[in-house]
Structure 1
C-alpha cells in the first residue's frame, strides 16, 4: 500500500492520513485507489465507531486531484467521484481534520465527511472555472446538499476564495481552532462519538443523508428505528441513566 496514504486504528477510532505534503496532498490514481481500499476496510470492521480523515504537513489538507494525471488522462473525474462517494457512504461518523488549506476536489473530499474542523489562517478555493473544467456532476450535487445552492454557486461558478472565518460562516467548517488545538479538538470529538450507541448513530446518519438528498425511504428508516428500539443498547442506555453511570454499548 502506498506511503502517501496512511491508515491506522486505535481501538474504535480509525484514521486516514493524506501523506504527500510536498505535492499538497494531491490525489493521483495510487492515492485514490488506496483511499477506496482503506475505506472499504473501515466499513467491513464492526469494531470501528469513528473515522478521522486528515493530512500531513501544515500548509494544505488536500489540493484535490493531481492535475498532471488529470490532464494526461491517467485519472478521471469518475475515479475521484467514486472515492468521495465511498467516503460519503461510510456508515459510521466521519470527521475531517483540515490541517491546512483546501483546494479543488479536496474541498469535496472534506464535504464527504460528516464533520469538519479547520485551523485558523487557512483558505478554500475550487478553481475549476479558472482552468475551464466543469466540476463532476456528482460533486456539484454534494456541494448543493452540504452547503446549499447559493454557496455552491459562489464556490464553483464564481471560483470565490474563502478565508478560515468565512469557511466557518458559510457552514463549510463546524469548528475553527488554532493549529495547536486541532488534534485535541478532533480527538475529543472522536472519543465522544465513539462512546455513543452505534446503532442509533448509524441509523440517524443514514436517515439524515436521505433527507439531505430529498427523499427519505420511510420503510427503510422505520426499520432502522425499530432496530434501535429493539436493541440491547437501548436497554443498556436506560439502565445507565438509572444507575448514573456511563453506558457500555455493544452495537446490538
Structure 2
C-alpha cells in the first residue's frame, strides 16, 4: 500500500531585481516596511535606480502587476532624466550654471582649469580620457568648497551662529544637512547649479542652526538670508535629478 506522503511546498516566486524602461536596465530595491499599507515606487535621484516599498509578505505576482501598471508612469518620468554616458564622450559639463566644453590637454598631470577659447567656456582636463570623470569631479569639489565656505560664513555671521564643520559628499538623496552641533554637509554636485541656487542651499542649511525644522520661522529665516529662496528651491526641484544623473 502506498502512502500519499507530504505535499511538496513550492518556493515563492523570485522578486524582480531590475526593471527595463526606455531601453535602460534599472536596478530595483524592494524593501518591506512594517507600517506600509500599500506599495510606493520611487525613482532614485539621478534616475539610475528604483526603490519599491511594500507591506510585509506581499507576494511577487502583486509586485509584478504593480510594476506593470506603473510602467507608463516610469517611462514619462525617466524621459525627463538624461541617460548620460562617460564625460569624455559627452564632452561637456556645467559649472556654476554655465555649460563648459571639456577639452583633454594631453598632459599627464595637473588640475582641471577653467578658461575661454574663442568665446566659449572650456574646462581643460589633464590625464587619460578614462580618468576625465575623476578629474572633473575633483574640480567640482574644489568649486563647491570655495563657494560654499564663503557663503556659509556670511550667512552664519548674519545669524550670530557658529559652524563647527563643513563636509562634502556625493549624496544621492539630499543636497545638504545640518546637525544640532553645527556640522554642515553638502553634496559637491551643487557646484553644477547656478550661483543663486548654491547661495540658497548655503542659506538653507545655515538657517537650520536657528531652526531645526521646516516650519514658518525656518523659511522666514532662510528668505532673510537668501531673498531668492523660492527660486532656488524651485530650480532644485526641477533640475536636481539632472545633476544627480551625471556619471563621473
- Interval of TM-score (by shorter of Structure 1 and Structure 2): under 0.3
- Structure 1 or 2: more helix by fraction: 1
TM-score by length of 2: 0.25
The structure number with the bigger radius of gyration is 2
TM-score by length of 1: 0.25
